[in-house]
Structure 1
Amino acid sequence: MKMYAIMDIKEDLEKYDQSLLNILLKDRTTNQNIIWATNDYSKFGDMYKAEYEIKAHLITNPKKKTDTT
């Protein structure tokens, strides 16, 4: 079994299509994206606060934090 390093996972995530991540992040009960539900990531910006939805670009390209769509 291959053990993935953090860099391997990051590279794999970058290969995924944004539409696949959008499907995985969708909460089927509310028809909105799941939320962060913790402020542990808020140090990365306002879009990472507990009450905000997780957007695919925030996971795959954290440098694009300012996009709110």
Structure 2
Amino acid sequence: MSSKRKDPCKANACKIQACLSENHYQESKCLEVLEQMRLCCLKWHKESNCCSGIILERSYLVDKDEQKQKS
């Protein structure tokens, strides 16, 4: 990725950090923003430096749906 070009997923990464901070670092409270990041990374993973650590193979919302079914 060119250093002059803006990282296409950086805004999503910032949203994740804000969500985690606001929710005392409980990942389960930030599944929607994690999923938004995953979708961005599916499209831009070759050009974004922010995508390391994001699991591309599965939706982060699956866990949330499973939790709803258990309730």
User: Which structure's residues are more often helix, by fraction?
Assistant: 2
Question: TM-score by structure 2 length?
Answer: 0.29
Question: TM-score by structure 1 length?
Answer: 0.29
Kindly indicate whether structure 1 or structure 2 has the higher relative contact order, using CA contacts under 8 Å at least 6 residues apart. Answer: 2
